[in-house]
Amino acid sequence: MSAGLKALAADYPVGELVFFRCFLALIPLLAWLAWQGDLINAIRTDHVPGHFLRGLIGTSSMYLGFAALAYLPLHDAIAIGYASPLIVVILAALILKEKVRSYRWTAVGIGFVGVLIMLSPFLKLSTLSGGVGTGASIGAIFAFVGAFCSAGATIQVRRLTQTERTGAIVFYFFILASGLSLLTLPLGWAVPTLKDLMLFVVVGILGGIGQILLTQSYRYADTSILAPFEYTTMIWALLLGWFVFGDLPTVTVMTGAAIVAGTGLFIVWREHQLGLERTKALETAAQRHG
């Protein structure tokens, strides 16, 4: 999907990319909800302000992420986006008042070292890479701010999941993102060619299917099992970037990405271990009182 968006980003405004990505994603989403027999119940909500906030932050993240694709190689944009889970830890502590232990703070700190390594050539801090052009620097900033917005959207989704159905959260995001992207119409949209229109359709439908599969996966497997698959996106980004766009990664970006991915996986693994320990402690306590 990201490769398709990158191919389109050179010829179409970002607002247009966001619109087609979200509006067409409604097709598989509504079909899935109807197949589940839960279409009406899924879109009922009493928390419109919460959905609007999630839509505003999420659309900002998507807009910035798509804009970054116009300036950066695919693998660089995705690698910088790996900063989002680290930012989620910070926002969860500040906004949701989650207890974050020292090992997680340490992992987050190390992870941000990786982020700085990735950003250094784009901000011209790295003598090893020699720096890059202004366009790529702008793209890196877009990608990082987009990662921050993505983390904020994740926090808002956590809030909404306390009272809202998953279908409603996804549905209202696609609706709001489609509507907000239409506000960019006065800035100028391009009429897609037939070939590009077909690519828009593929990108939108794949995005919707991906959202459904991701949502469903968390129903059947723990985060600790699913998290490693998220980082496989880098493998696909490298392959597609090389074969489709002829882009090769720099040592600097790959080193930073490896550090960020490693710390992210460590946090997930450690949380899983603590969860097992808590479960075991509860079972032991129950046996003693049984």
Whether 270 is in a domain gets the answer: no
Structural tokens at position 276: 């097992």
Enumerate residues 6+ apart whose C-beta is below 8 A from 254.
Answer: 79
Q: Give percent above pLDDT 90 in the chain.
A: 32
- For 268-282, what is the mean pLDDT? 68
Q: Is 14 left (phi over 0), alpha (psi -120 to 50) or beta?
A: alpha
Evaluate whether residue 149 is within a structural domain.
yes
pLDDT at 126 over 50: no
Q: Is the pLDDT of residue 9 over 80?
A: yes
195 within some domain: yes
Taking residues 115-124, what's their average pLDDT?
Answer: 80
CB 244 within 8 A of CB 3: yes
The two structure tokens encoding residue 261: 């991915």
Q: What is the 3-state secondary structure (H, E, C) of the chain?
A: CHHHHHHHHCCCCHHHHHHHHHHCCHHHHHHHHHHCCCHHHHCCCCCHHHHHHHHHHHHHHHHHHHHHHHHCCHHHHHHHHCCHHHHHHHHHHHCCCCCCCHHHHHHHHHHHHHHHHHHCCCCCCCCCCCCCCHHHHHHHHHHHHHHHHHHHHHHHHHHHCCCCCHHHHHHHHHHHHHHHHHCCHHHCCCCCCHHHHHHHHHHHHHHHHHHHHHHHHHHHCCHHHHHHHHCCHHHHHHHHHHHHHCCCCCHHHHHHHHHHHHHHHHHHHHHHHHHHHHHHHHHHHHHHHC
Q: 238 in a domain, yes or no?
A: yes
pLDDT (0 to 100) of residue 125: 47
pLDDT of 287 strictly over 80? no
* Residue 249 included in any domain: yes
Q: What is the pLDDT of residues 199-241, one digit of tens each?
A: 999 999 998 898 888 777 766 665 555 555 677 777 777 787 7
The number of distinct structural domains making up the chain is 1
What would the pLDDT profile of 74-86 be if each residue is shown by its tens digit?
888 888 888 888 8
Whether residue 283 is predicted with pLDDT greater than 60 in this model: the reply is no
- pLDDT of 7 strictly over 50: yes
Domain presence at residue 25 = yes
Asked if 287 and 108 count as a contact pair (C-beta separation under 8 A), the reply is no
* Position with higher pLDDT, 285 vs 112: 112
At which residue do the structure tokens 């419109």 appear?
Answer: 48
- CA–CA dist 126, 222 (Å, integer): 39
The mean pLDDT value for 27-36 works out to: 90
Q: Is the pLDDT of residue 288 over 70?
A: no
Query: Quick one: what percent of the chain has pLDDT higher than 70?
Result: 85
pLDDT of residue 129: 46
| Segments forming the whole domain that contains residue 48 | 2-265
In a domain, 167, yes or no: yes
Q: Between 187 and 249, whose confidence is greater? A: 187
Is 283 inside a domain boundary? no
Q: What is the pLDDT of residues 156-178, one digit of tens each?
A: 988 888 888 888 888 999 999 99
Quote the pLDDT of residue 239.
81
Handedness of CA 3, 14, 151, 91 (dihedral sign): positive
- This prediction has a pTM of 0.83
